[in-house]
């Protein structure tokens, strides 16, 4: 027999065997059906959601998969610059599902009536903060939600004692039914929540439990808070008892014992606050039950290691508060302004602090809870920003990079909620935490002009998926990376640059089905104020004025390229790039 005949016979037998194995019948003159074996990629690792972290807890109760929308785009050649950093995204290593409560902001009751400011409402709706804290920071401890203008309760004193022992006699209180055009009423706030599809985070007046002059000021203040729960009627799930109650600048820290009628000490302690917290929580939870709603109530913690120069009350706050609170708080509250206090910080200092402080803060708070006999529960970051000042750091492009890093690190460290301070403040030569301009003539732009941080936070949230996943990198230490995936299979990568030099980044994805196209938005400052440009340019689109960003940000096209040559972008100095990656 010839070799070719043997080969033909083997091929024929193999074909018959294949047909029999696949249960396919073949008649004479039927076309031959070739069945290709299924190839299983055993190297692809499917993602698995981790257990919900205790520090997030119920803040993920409302989690839902996020809808991916491929942006309209302009075809763009990828950079030809040499790669300085390689970022590898592992789509299988899920760090956490992403709580919508991570993108919050602080409103305040001096930022106009808000609800009837269409420019503001439009920008805020585009931003999708999801959480708006109210009524203020320290101002919460002198706010009477149900009182008319200049008509405080009869047992609210006409003077309040400050930490230095002197008294303040004017401008003591704010009111939920204010008549001032520059202030918002409580109902104005609720209108803003409704118009922007946001939830509330309300800080009730704890200070009143200390400085009130009734025979039982704690019960009176708790009853006032419970009445607010009833009036709120389920619109708000998350409630804080007091603001930075451990601190000497807070009303109630020191009281006039001559006016007090229930024998409270002159100075507040963590243990006394905890006992009062239990009274508040009991009243407020009973009110919620009466109206058939569920609420969560948080207690204030000192968020970081203290120094010897700080007051004893502050230094012992956690060690006296946590045991006395008897694990009744549903969550714990921290605030942090992250950069060195009142320092004219460099851009590198600002961004390095954003990268490191949230981790230190979370580690400290968890340790304090456990060390002092408490149970670790959800932890929130309900006020954050920077102390850096005097070079317009707070209103700069670099502040935008800072803001994204803080939000991303809050996610990475599994805070249940974070909220930036604040939406609207005062120019003060650029030492202004406000996300929007107040229209001060010295600033040179119109009221409600978004500052650079707005654009960074807008694009970060526009691109981010519903699960945070792991990234690793090699090369330049200046590149900071965060990645996320969508339940539907796409990915997002945020790249931030903590240096004064552009960085070219190659992005690799593993355990991910790569599609044919990726999209990106490049944000960068201009040349107007050194490392702290007051402008942000997005994909080449610049603001028309001396500060802010492009007016067409909501319709601005992404840049896009094929993934065939790799995902490679250049991240400008002190700036960021936000990437979306398609699935097949």
Provide the residue-wise pLDDT of the chain in tens; the chain has 584 residues: 333 343 344 333 333 333 333 333 333 444 443 434 433 344 789 999 999 999 999 999 999 999 999 999 999 999 999 999 999 999 999 999 999 999 999 999 999 999 999 999 999 999 999 999 999 999 999 999 999 999 999 999 999 999 999 999 999 999 999 999 999 999 999 999 999 999 999 999 999 999 999 999 999 999 999 999 999 999 999 999 999 999 999 999 999 999 999 999 999 999 999 999 999 999 999 999 999 999 999 999 999 999 999 999 999 999 999 999 999 999 999 999 999 999 999 999 999 999 999 999 999 999 999 999 999 999 999 999 999 999 999 999 999 999 999 999 999 999 999 999 999 999 999 999 999 999 999 999 999 999 999 999 999 999 999 999 999 999 999 999 999 999 999 999 999 999 999 999 999 999 999 999 999 999 999 999 999 999 999 999 999 999 999 999 999 999 999 999 999 999 999 999 999 999 99
Place of tokens 């763009």: 76
Q: What angle do CA 251, 140, 439 make, to 5 degrees?
A: 115
Q: What are the angstrom distances between the C-alpha of 478 and each of 55, 412, 495, 506?
A: 29, 19, 10, 14
Whole-angstrom distance, CA of residue 224 vs CA of residue 208? 10
* Contact indicator for 392, 532 with CB cutoff of 8 Å: yes
Give the per-residue pLDDT at 30: 42
Give the per-residue pLDDT at 44: 87
Which of 45, 91, 76 lies closest to 484 in space, CA to CA?
A: 91
Instruction: Give the chain's domains with CATH numbers.
Output: 1-39 (no CATH), 65-97+467-581 (2.60.40.1180), 101-329 (3.20.20.80)
Element (H, E) at 471: strand 467-475
* Contact indicator for 416, 379 with CB cutoff of 8 Å: yes
The C-alpha torsion from 444 through 447 and 453 to 456, rounded to 10°, is: -110
User: CB within 8 A of 446, min separation 6: which ones?
Assistant: 437, 439, 545
User: In this structure, are strands 417-420 and 467-475 parallel, antiparallel, or unpaired?
Assistant: unpaired
For residue 35 the two structure tokens come to: 């069945």
Which of 107, 296, 118, 141 lies closest to 210 in space, CA to CA?
A: 141
Which of 325, 337, 262 lies closest to 299 in space, CA to CA?
A: 325
Give the per-residue pLDDT at 32: 41
Cis, bond preceding 422 (omega within 30 deg of 0): yes
Give the per-residue pLDDT at 26: 38
Burial grade of 157 (CB within 10 A; 0-12, 13-18, 19 or more): middle
Give the per-residue pLDDT at 8: 41
User: CB within 8 A of 40, min separation 6: which ones?
Assistant: none
Whole-angstrom distance, CA of residue 473 vs CA of residue 506? 10
Q: How far is CA 567 from the centre of its chain?
A: 27
Number of Cβ within a 10 Å radius of residue 30: 9
For residue 553 the two structure tokens come to: 């940000």
Neighbouring-strand partners of residue 170? none
User: CB within 8 A of 554, min separation 6: which ones?
Assistant: 126
Q: What is the pTM of this model?
A: 0.92
User: In this structure, are strands 160-161 and 85-97 parallel, antiparallel, or unpaired?
Assistant: unpaired
For residue 448 the two structure tokens come to: 């409600």
């Amino acid at each position: 027999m010839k070799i070719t005949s043997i080969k033909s016979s083997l091929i024929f037998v193999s074909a018959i065997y294949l047909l029999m194995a696949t249960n396919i019948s073949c008649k004479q003159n039927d076309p031959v059906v070739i069945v290709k074996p299924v190839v299983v990629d055993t190297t692809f690792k499917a993602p698995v959601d981790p257990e919900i972290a205790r520090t997030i807890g119920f803040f993920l109760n409302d989690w839902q998969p996020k809808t991916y929308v491929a942006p309209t785009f302009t075809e763009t050649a990828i950079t030809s610059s040499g790669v300085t950093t390689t970022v590898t995204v592992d789509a299988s290593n899920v760090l956490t599902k992403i709580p919508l409560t991570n993108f919050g902001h602080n409103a305040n009751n001096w930022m106009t009536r808000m609800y009837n400011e269409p420019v503001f409402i439009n920008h805020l709706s585009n931003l999708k903060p999801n959480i708006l804290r109210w009524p203020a920071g320290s101002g919460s401890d002198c706010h009477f939600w149900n009182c008319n203008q200049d008509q405080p309760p009869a047992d609210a004193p006409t003077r309040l004692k400050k930490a230095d022992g002197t008294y303040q006699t004017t401008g003591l209180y704010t009111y939920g039914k204010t008549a001032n055009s520059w202030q918002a009423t409580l109902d104005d706030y609720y209108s803003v929540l409704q118009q922007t599809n946001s939830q509330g985070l309300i800080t009730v007046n704890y200070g009143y439990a200390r400085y009130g002059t009734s025979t039982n000021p704690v019960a009176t203040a708790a009853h006032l808070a419970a009445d607010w729960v009833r009036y709120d009627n389920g619109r708000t799930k998350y409630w804080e008892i007091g603001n930075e109650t451990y601190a000497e600048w807070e009303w109630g820290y020191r009281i006039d014992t001559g006016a007090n009628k229930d024998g409270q000490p002159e100075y507040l302690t963590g243990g006394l606050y905890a006992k009062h917290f239990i009274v508040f929580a009991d009243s407020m939870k009973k009110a919620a039950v009466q109206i058939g709603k569920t609420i969560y109530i948080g207690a204030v913690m000192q968020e970081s290691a203290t120094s010897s120069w700080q007051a004893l009350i502050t230094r012992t706050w956690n060690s006296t508060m946590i045991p006395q609170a008897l694990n009744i708080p549903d969550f714990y509250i921290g605030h942090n302004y992250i950069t060195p206090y009142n320092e004219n910080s460099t851009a590198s200092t600002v961004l390095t602090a954003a990268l490191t402080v949230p981790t230190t803060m979370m580690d400290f708070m968890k340790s304090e809870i456990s060390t002092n006999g408490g149970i670790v529960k959800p932890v929130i970051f309900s006020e954050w920003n920077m102390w850096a000042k005097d070079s317009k750091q707070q209103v700069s492009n670099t502040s935008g990079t800072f803001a994204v890093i803080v939000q991303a690190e809050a996610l990475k460290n599994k805070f249940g909620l974070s909220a930036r301070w604040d939406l609207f403040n005062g120019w003060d030569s650029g030492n202004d935490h406000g996300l929007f301009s107040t229209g001060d003539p010295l600033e040179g732009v119109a009221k409600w002009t978004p500052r650079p941080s707005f654009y960074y936070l807008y694009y970060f949230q526009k691109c981010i998926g519903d699960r945070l996943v792991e990234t690793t990198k090699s090369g330049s230490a200046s590149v900071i990376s965060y990645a996320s995936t969508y339940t539907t299979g796409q990915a997002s990568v945020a790249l931030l640059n903590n240096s004064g030099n552009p960085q070219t980044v190659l992005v690799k994805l593993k355990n991910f089905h790569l599609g044919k196209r990726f999209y990106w938005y490049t944000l960068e400052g201009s040349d107007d104020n050194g490392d702290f440009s007051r402008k942000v340019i997005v994909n080449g689109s610049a603001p028309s004025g001396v500060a802010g960003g492009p007016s067409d940000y909501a319709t601005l096209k992404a840049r896009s390229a094929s993934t065939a040559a790799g995902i490679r972008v250049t991240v400008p100095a002190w700036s960021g790039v936000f990437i979306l990656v398609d699935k097949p």
